[in-house]
Every structure is written in structure tokens, then in C-alpha cells.
Amino acid sequence: MNSGTKTSPLLTLTIASLIWVALNFFAISPTVRAEPIILSPDGLAAPVSTITFDELNIPDTAQVSTEFADLGATFLPNLFYRTGDNPDWANVEGPNLRTGDPEVNPFTIHFERTLTSAAFIAIAQPPTPATITAKLNGVEVESFETTVSIDNPDNYFGFTDIIFDEIEVAYTAATRMRIDNVQLGEASPGGIPFQITNLEFDPANEEVTITWPSKLGDSFSIEWSEDLLTFTELDDGIEGLEGSTLYTDRVPAGTVRRYYRVSKN
């Protein structure tokens, strides 16, 4: 592929469990990985903007969802606005958002633009194991596991060097979590990128169907890999259809995992 080729993020076909997992790739390189922000003291080095939650005058304990949309983010299904902080909470100053009453788990920070980086403060008492996931159009792009605690002063979490439009936070302990200082990084060039949108496996015929957005006149190539190191081309002259294009690949018996990549010629 040349440097002008526009390539989708990769999707993994795990045939043993029939689970489709979006991988963590940005641009066209099969070896470029996201850089998650885990237990950072300050989050992004140079955020474009930061939502501190003191931008609006909202009553204490009111539910919050779309109130901060003009600043770049909405909060789903709902979090609760808290006007106070605690001097023992590192980095949390002034208004913030809290889960609970009733419990909201998981919750999502949904960004109004597709971003390449974002971070936020999260604290919890008691501490809780948590899974923090970046998604694009509802599909997982990158995920990591961590512990969110009220006692750790390094309490920023997030992602860089990927393309995503929301961050989901799921946790396991019976706790209350607070978030603050949602940092927004650069918007992705061209908005929502070209990407694979679906994989479907037909076990009876041992076939997988790959779907991606397209329009008439587009031309695509598709490749697969077993190890993300060596890719094999399946077809380099697929004509795009209006709306979306489908490609069906025969998967040999005994295959456990395949990685697919579609490129716009």
C-alpha cells in the first residue's frame, strides 16, 4: 500500500467463541498501537479544551447528560452534578460528576467530534477494578483494566493515538465514582474515518462476511493476517456499492483467529 491509501482499523474474527473484537489501530500501519493513559498525574500534555464542570450553573444532585454538549461531550445514560469537592481528592476541584442514586454502571462519555485523544479524572471510594474502553460508532477500539481509587493522586485515564468518539467506564465494586476535568484532544482529520463496520461468521458454510461503508465508484482492497505481521491480499479490485460493500471470505476449517483490513484504493 502507498502512503495515500486510506485503511480501516482492523477487526478480529475469533471463530472459537464467535466474538468480534475491534483492535487498537490508527492510520495504516499494522504495528502502530494506541497509547492508553493509565494512572497519569496530569492526563494529556496539551489538551485542546477541558470540561471542568464549573462552566454552567447546575443545581447540586441534578442529572446531567447533554448539558455540556456545546463544550464537546455528553454523558450517558446519566450522571449527577455535584457542586462540592473534598480537599483530600487529588486534582478534583469544584463541581464534578458522580455516579449513583440510582447506580449508573457502566457510563459513557460521548464526544461530539471524533477525537484522536482524550483523558479524564476518575476517583472512587471504596476503590474498584474498572474497565475503560474507547469506542467508535459503538465498536470497541481500545480497552484497558485498572483500579480507580480515591487515594491515588495519579488519577487521569484516557487514550491517545487512536480514533474514537466515546469512552465507556465499567466497574465491579459497590462504590460511587466521580469524574472531573474531561480533556479533549485533537479531532480526527476528516471526521469519522473509513472503517469496517461488521463481521458475520456462517459456521455452516465456513464463511465470514466483512462489511464497510462505501459509495458507487469507490475501489477497495482487502487483506487478512494470522499474526498482524504478515498480510495476505484477498482482492485488490472490489467495486464499491452505494451505502455499504460486502465481501465474503472462505475460512478454512480449524482456523482460530483472523485479522481483516480493508483499504480504499
CA-CA distances (angstroms) from residue 247 to 212, 222, 250?
9, 9, 10
**56-65 pLDDT, tens per residue?**
999 999 999 9
pTM: predicted TM-score of the whole model, two decimal places: 0.64
pLDDT number for residue 60: 96
Nearest to 72 by CA among 42, 51, 55: 51
- Number of Cβ within 10 Å of residue 120's Cβ equals 25
Please tell me the predicted confidence (pLDDT) of residue 123: 96
Whose cell is 495476505? That residue is: 232
CA angle 71, 77, 79 (to 5 degrees): 65
Any idea where the domains of the chain sit in the sequence? 6-21+196-264, 35-184
pLDDT one-digit tens code per residue, 220-239:
888 888 877 788 899 999 99
| Topology, domain 35-184 | Jelly Rolls (2.60.120)
Residues of the chain with pLDDT under 70: 1-34, 101-102, 189-195
90 Cβ neighbours under 8 A, 6+ residues apart:
123, 152, 153, 154, 155
227: exposed, middle or buried (C-beta count within 10 Å: 0-12, 13-18, 19+)?
A: exposed
Closest among 176, 159, 175, 178 to 167, alpha carbons compared: 159
